[in-house]
């Protein structure tokens, strides 16, 4: 059973990888209106994860360009740090802990 789910997840991920952001949005809407079967729930989760990943990368690129052009604000720099390192890392108050490998 678990092997079947992993295979299905791999098949869904392959389909999603070939989609544009607009196609992911459209397919997500269709799946959300469908019956909540185990397969639909899995597909919706994978669609949502991929969408969030791509939007995050797009925003990261926008902010990084601002760094290169020296036009980034403090608020945007913090957002970039969170996208790059994660919120827990950025909010950690222990400076010695931050840079350990």
On the CB side of 4, CA atoms within 13 Å amount to 3
pLDDT in tens, 48-99: 999 999 998 899 999 999 999 999 999 999 999 888 888 888 888 776 665 5
> Hey, where are the domains in the chain?
2-98
Segment (H or E) for 19: none
Tokens encoding 88: 């827990």
**Confidence at 101, pLDDT banded by 50, 70, 90:** very low
- Total-model pTM: 0.68
On the CB side of 43, CA atoms within 13 Å amount to 22
């Amino acid at each position: 059973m678990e092997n079947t789910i992993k295979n299905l997840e791999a098949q869904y991920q392959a389909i999603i990888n070939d989609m544009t952001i607009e196609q992911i949005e459209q397919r997500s809407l269709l799946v959300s209106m469908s019956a909540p079967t185990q397969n639909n729930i899995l597909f919706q989760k994978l669609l949502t994860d991929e969408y969030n990943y791509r939007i995050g990368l797009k925003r990261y690129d926008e902010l990084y360009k601002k760094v290169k052009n020296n036009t980034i604000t403090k608020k945007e720099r913090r957002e970039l740090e969170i996208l790059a390192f994660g919120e827990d890392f950025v909010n950690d108050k222990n400076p010695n802990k931050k840079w350990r490998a």
